[in-house]
Structures are given as structure tokens and as C-alpha cells.
A and B are shown apart, each in its own frame.
Chain A
Amino acid sequence: MSNWPTETKYISHATTRIDAPAKLTGKARYASDIQAEGWLYGMILRSKWPAAKILSINLEAALKIPGIKAAVTVKDGPRTIRFYGEELAAVAGTSKQACLDALRAIEVQAEPRHDFVVNEAEARKENAAQVWEGSPNSSKPQVRESGSVDTAFPECAAVVEGFYSTPIQIHHPMETHGNTISWTDDGVKAWASTQGISSVRDGLAGALQLNHSQVRVVTEYMGGGFGAKFGAGVEGILAAKLSKAAKAPVRLMLTRFEQALAVGNRPSSFQKIKIGATADGMLHAFEAENYGTAGIGGGGDGGGGGGGADITLPYLYKVPNSRVKQSVVAVNAGGARAFRAPGNPPASFGMESVMDDLAVKLGMDPLEFRLKNDPNPIRQREYKLGAEKFGWKQKYSKPGSSPGVVKIGVGCAAGAWPAGGGSSDTQGEAQINPDGSIEFRLGVQDIGTGTRTVIAVIAAELLGLKPEQITVKVGDTNYPPGPGSGGSTTCPSISPTVFDICQKALAQLQTQSGLADARGANWFAACKKLGVSPLVVHGKWQRGLSADRACGVQFAEVEVDTETGLVTVKKILGVHDCGLIINKLTLESQINGGIIMGMGYALYEERVMDDLSGVMLNPNFETYKLPGIADVPNIDIVLINMPERGVIGIGEPATIPTAGAIANAIANAIGVRVCSLPITPAKILAALGKVPPVTT
């Protein structure tokens, strides 16, 4: 169906990032590197109470601190605070220290409230403190039902039940949220660390009551967002206000501490699941009740879209008789935002866990059981390819049968990403100069995935040039509009757009130059015939060159020390598809990153809130634990190239199955299931019955 070339030199091959030298030498300017003429530091004062009534905020003393040029409040007059870390005010000054001193000088008159609730189970209790006065924390369950669940369970040959939970995960991109903003009479210029320059432009314009043409957003390079960086954010609006008041550009980048509190997270899930299959191993009945929190908003998104607490069950499986109840619960803690494959990693973990348990009960190999029940032909192919490469048949044995103290286990799991297609609004342009140089300009941003390289690879392929001959400019709202980088849509949005630009450029160049084929060897001769005026070609996304719905399965092999509970992941194999592969190298990078992030979700990461004080206890990398290089195993990647489908995004699918695969490998190793992420030594030892009862 797709018109992509079949014989390729660059597309589907491996090209080193064209901006690798800039990144490695420090020449690449990230949002946090920007030093605009006369810039000031900006910093935010945050609530030290999880719930409070703010009566007044007095900035006078702060403004008297030497070096402080401006101070603003988030909102004048009384207001209600609903989580620890909520923004109150901000200052701008000539040094970090001046700002820190100023924050401490701000006088906040407040009535702290002692009735707050920060954990889900507490918040669901009848007499729990209400996050929103007068309305219950828990929403009424939404029920989806098909078939006849109550009659179906008795018809099953095997039924298992479990309660699976996943924690709040924090995005923690290496570059924190923030921007440098300059607000002058000419308008606003923002250098933002964002996944969506257009959405930040629109957000700033709306909040500051400017028209869109008065706001320009630039993101040359940014250090990751994972879904949490689409909006202008409170920090963006504060930086703008400070800039206006101080008449100078203000750089306001959050600290790691602030990053943990107030700019998004993955909602938790608590999944009570019952599932049954017939004697021939076909899923027959399913019942689930799930709740989770997205923070103060209960189930709602904390900004940017896609950050809700609902998950899709029974996930990628089709069960003829199914009843699913979903509810959400509000707590006094920072709100959720879209997080790499929203809703999918928790759903995959819950479902893939219960699938393994049911396979065991049926006496079936879990992989065979999946092949019987997974309706998707691509995943069927991936499971078979993966099993062969992983050596599943040789490695799989009955749960708990591994001998000795340190036990070995294997597991697998799958993902289904419903999006990943292109945005039809994407546009771009290329300027071809008489000297043969060519520059592409797209109002998209590179969130670290290799967007520039994708553009260069496609252009080089279609124009018969080398990737390094292509100049790529992205990350500026002055360029033709591009998509926000979310939903794994960037690559399938820009690839067809670049295709269109190249087609049009060649057609026009050939007409103007009189050469029948302007590509490759003829390129420079053709360009020379342009005379003195460069050729500027505008293109847009075209149908038929991209698709959506990537699959992906992963296999994990682990070692579990049954005396200490330590889990060592020995190997992960990911088998993934994303239609036509544009650049293998950056694609594999995405999958590596997704798997490592999935490992963190499986074994280490968790927001810990304290019931009594209402604060987050681990707003740092000391106790909010992320996988380090010593924790990461060999990662093998098998790619299925499907040019006939066109381009599909991979960013999100890659992280979905990892936690389920690791959890299943652990259960296979030790013979009992740990139903709660992260799977820590403490939980392993508890599952093994080795933790003594506590009498206090």
C-alpha cells in the first residue's frame, strides 16, 4: 500500500544521529543551557502543607533581598492548597542564592488543614478527609459488561483470582521542566523544555492574553518529557510574569525535588481480577474491579491530556463474558499527566500476571496459552520469533522448580499500543539553495528520539544525497506547524511530510532545471540551474505512508536470591514492530530506553507518601530508585520490518510489556507471585513466607 521505496540505502538501515557530535561536545543547546542577554534566575515557592487555606502572601521582604528583581504570586488573595509542593509564588534574581534567600523571606499567612489524605486505601475509607470539600474522594464505578459473566464462571475448567497493584511512577526526565522566557513589548519568546512547542505557544498566549503571533516558542534540544511536558505549566506562566515584571529574560528550571512533586506522574492501579478458561485453554470469563489515583484530580489528567487513572481491561485479550468496574480516587498529592503509554503498563502487568497464573492452573505453558488467546496475528508472529531466539522451550520449566537458593525463571508479556499513527496537520518546508545545500524546517521538536536524523535519513534517501548533507531545523513555532510529540506520533507524522516535501521539491527542481532526474549525481547541477533564488517547497502529511497500532512482546530471564530477595535481570528480549523502519539505530535506542524504564517500573520506582505529614518521602534519586547501569542486563532486540504498513511510532509500545515479563519471570523462578510493583526484596521475602510476623 505504501509508496516508500523498496530498495533503500538509508531507510531501514542504521544511521548515527546527525546531531550526535553537537550533543557530545556540548554544542547542542538544551532549554536549561539558554543564557539570554541579561537573564535572571527564577524560582518557585511551594506549599509545605499538603492541605491549607492560604490567607495572604506578602512579597515585600523578598523584594528587598539584594539581587531580587521581581516577585509574583500564583494567585492573589485567599486560596486553597491541596497538595504538598503546590505553587504559591515565584521570584527572579541575579543569583540562585538571592532567589533561595528571597523564597525564605516571603511571608505566607496560612491555615494548615490537618484533614488530608495522601494514600489511596485511606482516601477510599468512609470517614476519610475530603480532598475536595463536600465531594467524596472516590468516583462512582463505571461498569462495562459483555456476555454473561455470572453464568460463564461456573462453565470454566480453571479460575484464578488476584489483586495486582502498581505504584505512582514519576516521569523524572533527566532535564527537569522549565524554560527561559523573555516578555517584552514585542511579545513573548520562550525557550522551553517541551514536547509540544505549539501547545506551549497556545498555552502561554491564552494565559497571558496575547495572540498566538505574539508568542514564539523555541526548543532546540530538550532532555526528555515522557508525556509530562506538553503545557506551558505553572512554571512557564510564572517565568513569563517574572520576566514582564523584571524587564529581563527569566530562566526557571525546576529542581529534582520540585520535579517529583508537581509536574505529573503515572497514576496508580489496584486491580482485583478474576479470570477463567475452559478446559481447552480458551479464555471464557473475566471480572475486574480497578481503582487508582491521578492525584488531587482523582481520575483526571493533571495537564496535557492522557493522564487519567482508568486502564483498559482485559487489555489485549478478548474474553466473551466480561465485567469491568473502574473507579478513581482523589488524594492530596500532585496530579498525573500522560506517561509513556498511559494506562498500558499497569494493564499489561495485571493481565499478564493473571494470565500466567491461569496457565499454571490449567497446566499449560504460558506461552502456548497466550498463542491460543492472543487475537493479533502480528503478536503471534512475534511470540514465535521471540520464543525461538530466547530459547523458551529449553528455558521454561514449572514455577519454583529451579533448584538451589538462587533460582532462575523466565516470563513473557505483550503490549498493544492503539495509537502511534500520524497527525494529518503536520506541515514542513525545505529550502534548496543554488549551491545544492538544503534545509528542512519543521515545527516539530526532538524529544531525544532522533527526529532530526529521521528527517535527514528520509530526505537523503529520496533525494539521493547523504544524511549529513541535509540540514534540519526543528523546534521553532516560526516553522510550519508540527505535532506535539506524544502518543508515539512524531515519526509517523513527519515521515510522510518529508516524503511529500521531497516529492514536490524534486518535481519542481526538475521542471526548473530541465533535468529529468535531479537526484543524486545530478543534484548539484540541477540546483545550480536555480540561478540566484533558492527554491522553497512546502509539503504536508500524506495519507498512505503511515499507520498506527504497534504490537510488541518481551521475554525476561531473571535470577532471584530466595534468601535476600534480590532480583537480577539476566536478559530481556524485545520483539517489536513499527511498520516501516526508518532508522534502526535510533529505533533500537527507543526500545532500550523503554525496556530500562519498564525495569524501573517492575523493580525499583515508587512514589512514597507519608500518611502523617502528607509529604513525599522520596523526592530525589537516592530513594526514588531508578535502574542504573549495574542493574541493566543484556537487551536483545528483534525488529520486524513491515514497509507495507508505512511508518508507525515505537516510543510507547517499547515500555509496555517489560514489567509483566519480569514479574512473570520472578513468579516462575520462586513459585509464588508478587502481585505488587515494584517487586522489592521485601516483597519477594514476604511472598516466600520468610518475613516474621510483627507484634507491636
Chain B
Amino acid sequence: MKAFEYATAHSTASARELVAGNGAYLAGGNDLLGLLKEYLVSANILVNIKSLPGLDKIERGEKHWSIGSLVTVAQIEDDMEIKKVFPGLHEAASDVASQQIRNVATVGGNLAQHSRCWYFRQRDVPCLKKNGDLCYARNGENRYHSLFTGNPCISPVVSSLATIFTSLDATAIVLRDGKEIRLSMAELYQRAWENPLAHNSLNHGDLILRVEIPTARNRSAYMQVSDKHAFDWALVSCAAAAEVVAGKLKSPRVALGSISPVPHQVEAANHFLDGKVLDAATATQAADLILKDAKPLEHNAYKMPIAHALIRRTLLKLKGTA
């Protein structure tokens, strides 16, 4: 990696100031250090944000919970109340990488992580996401790539937390130009849908402060399928959340990861599920709706049956916990 300066910020204002120009925020470092070592990003200064006050807290309100961006994935996994209130969030956190990575990985870092596309990560491939001329994956080795995209790049979002947060209708509170703005999960990733160079909608200097999760959906579930049983990226991940009243779903949301540059959700499916009592047939219909416009490529069509199975299973799990 290239030489860089290092500074610790003690206020968000100084963090913003330090990172301006060509700096990068450093929290867990799982993604950033890899990117630097492979010369995929460069930074003249790393701004340690781990000492920023207040961002490592979980606040448990009646209407919503707030999870600070410096809360680690392991903290979420180990929090027994989260397991009760947002079981899907607990499950998603448990499936992230390995224990060692979860111990240092933060919520903010998980959401802001860059593409894992193996062409993007290959130091000598000048792919579209690195300002190159073409997406090598499109006609190449695309087994881990998207079924949906709004641009020529087919690199999917792989954040497990983004998948579950989407189903829970969580909001990211981001410090932008000195002001707090609120982004839905869809908004947080929208730019990656449109622009091959983007991994998310964050601008340089934007800092995720916390994630607010409404408590209205009292049932949630998360499942993923990987090639291996642990410490492996999801081939497909799926999250579902809803309020269950007298066996009926209220305001249900289903979201999928690793099949689109954004957490994949289909409004028609959420609408279809609203007010329904879940059974296998309903879950199947929802899965059909969610995957209707998928555009599988040469090597990733196998994600279709996996996604279909995961949607059905995750929905039925939602029912099971009701």
C-alpha cells in the first residue's frame, strides 16, 4: 500500500475536516485495509473514528431502536435483547464472516463496504468499476454476480446487515456536509444501481452515524446460502420482517442480498403479502413476484432456485416465530 498519515478524530467535526481531500475513515478496517493493500483505493490519511463519542451505543426506544455505526457485528450478535426484538438482525449478524472479523467489524463498515466482485478485487483487471471500459463478469465468470442491475456492472451488494435492515425498514442517519440526513436502505444504495463506479450512495466525507430501526415489525428472519457452512459470502441472502397480528402479516417486507447492486425488494410482493396468512402457496407466490424480472447470466442462474427457496423459507420462518 502507499504511505499514509494517521490521525484519531475525537469529534465528528474534526473527522470531517481530517478526511477532506483524499482521506478515508478507519473503523474496523476489514475492507479498507484490503483495498489499500491491493492499491484499489488510495488515501493520504486514515482517520481513526473509533474514538468518536456516542457512536458505539445501542439505544432501545419504544418506537425505534438506534444502533451506532461503531457498534460491532459481534455486539449485535451477542445482544440478547436484539435476539428477542429483532431476531432476523441477530441471525444476519451471526452469519457475517468469522468470529474474529465480527469482533472488529462495525455496522457502518458493513454497510459501506465495497464490492467483492473478483474482477474488481483483482489488482490487474481494469474493470468498469475501476474506471475501465467493460464489465469482465458480464460475459465471464459471473457465478457470484447479480440477477438484477440498472447499469452494465453486475457486482452485487453483499452486506448482510443491509439485507435485514431493508426488511426492517431501517434508516441510516448520515452526516453530510455538517448536517444529518436520513437515508432509507434503498436510498443508501441507489447510486450503485445506476452508476458502475459506485458501491453505495455515500459521498466522500459522508459518515454513517447510526441506524434507526422501527420496532413495529415484531417478527423478522434472515437466512443465507453459501458454498460453505461458515466464513463464506452468501450466494443469496434473504430477510423478511412484518408485524404479525392474529396470524396475519402487517407491513411485511422481504429483501434479498447478493443478487443486485442494491438490497433487492419488490413493492408488489410486499403489497401482495400484506394482510395475508402465510402458507406455502402464499410464500411461493411472493417468491415468484420477487424474482419475476430477474436476468440470470451464463453462470448465475442457479441463484434463482436458491433465492426462491430462501424467500419461501424465510417467510415461513417468520410465521414460525409468530
Residues of A near any B CB (own CB < 8 A): 48, 84, 97, 100, 563-566, 568, 603-604, 608, 610-613, 615, 617-618, 622-623, 625, 627-631, 680-682, 685-686, 690-694, 696
Contacts and interface: CB of A to CB of B under 8 A. Distances in A.
B225 A566 contact: yes
Contacts of B125: 610, 613, 615
Nearest to A680: B227
Contact of B306 (A564, A608, A613, A623): A564
B265 to A, nearest CB: 21
Given A625-B232, A681-B235, A696-B297, A617 B118 contact: yes
Contact of A564 (B229, B230, B231, B309): B309
A563 B309 contact: yes
B11 interface: no
A563 B301 contact: no
A685 B306 contact: yes
A503 B119 CA distance: 62
Contacts of B65: none
A48 B125 CA distance: 9
Contacts of A691: 301-302, 304-305
Given A84-B124, A613-B124, A565 B306 contact: yes
B119 A617 contact: yes
Contacts of B229: 568, 628, 630-631
B141 A617 contact: yes
B136 A612 contact: yes
Contacts of B231: 628, 630
B122 interface: yes
Given A100-B1, A617-B141, A692 B296 contact: yes
CB-CB nearest 3 A-B residue pairs: A630-B230, A563-B309, A682-B302
B297 A611 contact: no
A630 B1 CA distance: 33
Contact of A97 (B3, B119, B140, B301): B3
A613 B302 CA distance: 25
B117 to A, nearest CB: 10
A604 B125 CA distance: 24
Contact of B227 (A604, A610, A690, A694): A604
Contacts of A630: 228-231
B228 A631 contact: yes
B296 A694 contact: yes
A691 B296 CA distance: 10
A467 to B, nearest CB: 35
B317 interface: no
Nearest to A616: B122
B140 A615 contact: no
Interface string B205-230: 00000000000000000000101111
Given A628-B231, A694-B301, A682 B143 contact: yes
B229 to A, nearest CB: 4
Contacts of B309: 563-564
B228 A625 contact: yes
B303 to A, nearest CB: 8
Contacts, number: 99
10 contacts: A48-B124, A563-B309, A564-B310, A610-B125, A615-B124, A630-B230, A682-B299, A691-B301, A691-B302, A692-B305
A568 B301 CA distance: 22
A610 B304 contact: no
B119 A610 contact: yes
Nearest to B308: A563
A622 B34 CA distance: 12
B131 interface: no
Nearest to A104: B39
Interface in B1-22: 1, 3
Contacts of A680: 227
A535 B270 CA distance: 86
Interface in B275-322: 296-299, 301-302, 304-306, 308-310
Looking at chain B's contact residues, is the secondary structure mostly helix, strand, loop, or mixed? loop
A628 B226 CA distance: 13
B118 A685 contact: no
Interface residues of B, number: 36
B100 interface: no
B139 interface: yes
A641 to B, nearest CB: 35
Contacts of A682: 143, 235, 299, 302
A100 B35 CA distance: 15
A611 B304 contact: no
Contacts of B235: 681-682
A608 B296 contact: no
Interface in B95-142: 116, 118-119, 121-122, 124-125, 136, 139-141
A480 to B, nearest CB: 44
A692 B140 contact: no
Contacts of B143: 682
A685 B302 contact: yes
A626 to B, nearest CB: 9
User: Taking each of B144, B297, B299, B305, which has the highest tally of chain A beta carbons within 10 Å of its own beta carbon?
Assistant: B305
A48 B123 CA distance: 9
A604 B228 contact: yes
B141 A694 contact: no
A613 B137 CA distance: 11
B230 A628 contact: yes
A608 B301 CA distance: 18
A618 B143 CA distance: 13
Interface in B225-268: 225, 227-233, 235
Contacts of B119: 610, 613, 617
Contacts of A617: 118-119, 122, 141
Contacts of B144: 623
Contacts of A692: 296, 301, 304-305
Contacts of B225: 564-566, 681
Contacts of A612: 136, 139-140
Contact of A628 (B3, B228, B308): B228
B288 to A, nearest CB: 12
Contacts of A696: 297-298
Contacts of A615: 122, 124-125
Contacts of A604: 227-228
A298 B312 CA distance: 48
A681 B302 contact: yes
B140 A611 contact: yes
Contact of B302 (A565, A622, A625): A565
Interface string B172-187: 0000000000000000
Contacts of B299: 682
A692 B225 CA distance: 18
Given A612-B136, A612-B140, A625-B227, 10 more contacts: A612-B139, A615-B122, A628-B229, A631-B229, A681-B227, A681-B235, A681-B302, A690-B302, A692-B301, A694-B301
Contacts of B118: 608, 617-618, 623
Contacts of A100: 1
Given A608-B141, A612-B136, A563 B305 contact: yes
Nearest to A85: B124
Nearest to A257: B123
Given A564-B306, A617-B119, A694 B298 contact: yes
Nearest to B233: A622
A608 B309 CA distance: 27
A694 B3 contact: no
Nearest to B37: A100
B154 to A, nearest CB: 12
A677 B77 CA distance: 35
B141 A681 contact: no
Most chain A beta-carbon contacts within 10 A, residue among B227, B230, B233: B227
A503 to B, nearest CB: 51
Contacts of B310: 564
Interface string B60-75: 0000000000000000
A21 to B, nearest CB: 25
